Amino acid sequence: MELAIVSAVVVVALVFDYTNGFHDAANAIATSISTRALTPRIALTLAAVMNFVGALLGQEVAKTVSEVISIPADNAGLVIVLAGLLGAITWNLTTWYFGLPSSSSHALIGGMVGAAIAGGAEVHWATINEKVLIPMVASPVVGFVLAFGVSNLVMLLVPSLPASIPSWAVITGLTVSISVGLIFGVWPARKASKLDPIECLRYE
């Protein structure tokens, strides 16, 4: 029975990572494609490669996901992890279908917290407040301010653009795609990796 649950958790975690990939891919390539700096095929290939490379460089977000709850060291812990993953997958698929911008990281954390509450596991609210809620509110504001400033700076330095795309614009688009793809790899690609089902079988 335990092996079946562990296998189910591993498979569902891989499915979540897959939905996370196609859910977030547009974030990494939308700018480059919309500005015609890169073709969709090249942009998507570049994003996939850099996501993979980024996943090998860091796991801080994955660590945060694992710290929001205390997973019981028994079959109940496996069920909580499984339920949290299924909830996050459902949300990813729903927002993808309707074209709604949404964070897979927050979906996973919300799924894990909801499953933990239902299963009677401990939820670390201080961690959620510090590393989830505050950044979730602050990030759109910071992004807006920085983007506003950069846009005005670019328009000031380049008041008019030629009809054809200049080489520096292509290089900039390529750099942005590489950077965003790498960041998405370092940031969200490994978030399910810390939900280790083996840990749930180490009875205290």
Return the half-sphere exposure (C-beta side, CA atoms, 13 A cut-off) of residue 57.
13
H-run or E-run covering 72 = none
Mean pLDDT of 170-185: 70
Q: CB count, 10 Å around CB of 61?
A: 19
Question: Could you read off the pLDDT of 1-58 as tens digits, one per residue?
Answer: 677 877 888 888 888 888 877 776 666 677 777 777 677 888 778 777 777 776 666 6
Mean pLDDT of 89-102: 87
Cβ atoms of residues 177 and 39 within 8 Å: no
Structure tokens at 115: 């499953």
Question: Could you read off the pLDDT of 134-158 as tens digits, one per residue?
Answer: 988 998 999 999 989 988 887 887 7
Which pTM does this prediction carry? 0.75
Cβ atoms of residues 72 and 200 within 8 Å: yes
Helix runs in the chain, H state only: 2-34, 40-55, 60-67, 75-97, 104-119, 125-128, 134-157, 167-186
Q: How confident is the model at residue 202 (pLDDT cuts 50, 70, 90)?
A: very low
Cα–Cα distances (Å) from 154 to 132, 142, 158, 161, in that order, read 32, 18, 6, 11
Question: Could you read off the pLDDT of 107-142 as tens digits, one per residue?
Answer: 888 999 999 999 888 999 998 999 889 988 998 999
**How far apart (Å, rounded) are the C-alpha atoms in residues 13 and 7?**
10
User: Residue with structure tokens 């380049």?
Assistant: 158
